[in-house]
A and B are shown apart, each in its own frame.
Chain A
Amino acid sequence: LAKTTQPISMDSYEGQEVNITCSHNNIATNDYITWYQQFPSQGPRFIIQGYKTKVTNEVASLFIPADRKSSTLSLPRVSLSDTAVYYCLAADNAGNMLTFGGGTRLMVKP
């Protein structure tokens, strides 16, 4: 299971694009990268998942370079409601033991 490293916190303003990078230097061949969002007193919520290159859905994009040692979650035009903690995980398809890192606390300001 690849250990991940993220910035502890980030600040942004409404309407800006936010990019949060996660390092996973010892990622294994079978590992996928998944990002979650967590609001206070709630469980994390799945945002996006990818293996390589670029993945986009209705809420975010995920960029993964060819060496897969890092990934970047991109949130377009953030709003105040995007203030939350964002976690990245790198794990294989067996998914038997899924350990979260410290996450990135994003604060969106007016």
Chain B
Amino acid sequence: EADIYQTPRYLVIGTGKKITLECSQTMGHDKMYWYQQDPGMELHLIHYSYGVNSTEKGDLSSESTVSRIRTEHFPLTLESARPSHTSQYLCASSEGWLGGLFFGSGTQLSVL
């Protein structure tokens, strides 16, 4: 069973707050990803990393930022949350491509 953890599972915050969504994996995977998904809609890649100190933006523009200081940790930060950021955020990791992506349980973010 894959070991990738996201916290918090649910988060309700007010507009303008700074938040960090945590993602950690214990599999030693080099590649990690953040996806954003609205209810009933497809997943959109917003950030990815192929190793420590590497981060790239995905195909969906996002106001969030990420960092990759340690292999196992890939946090996502919103400096000033807005209602338009309300969504589910899913973190994933992989060791290359064979064997596929392992996803966390997601963080459901609601910005009031």
A interface residues with partner B (beta carbon < 8 Å)? 32, 34, 36, 41-46, 49, 87, 91-103
Contacts and interface: CB of A to CB of B under 8 A. Distances in A.
A97 B58 CA distance: 7
Contacts of B12: none
B96 interface: yes
Interface of A is mostly: loop
Contacts of A96: 31, 48, 50, 56
Given A36-B100, A42-B105, A44-B101, A100 B43 contact: yes
A93 B98 contact: yes
Interface residues of B, number: 28
Interface of B: 31, 33, 35, 42-45, 48, 50, 56, 58-59, 88, 90, 92, 94, 96-106, 108
B35 A100 contact: yes
Given A97-B59, A102-B42, A103-B42, A34 B106 contact: no
Nearest to B60: A99
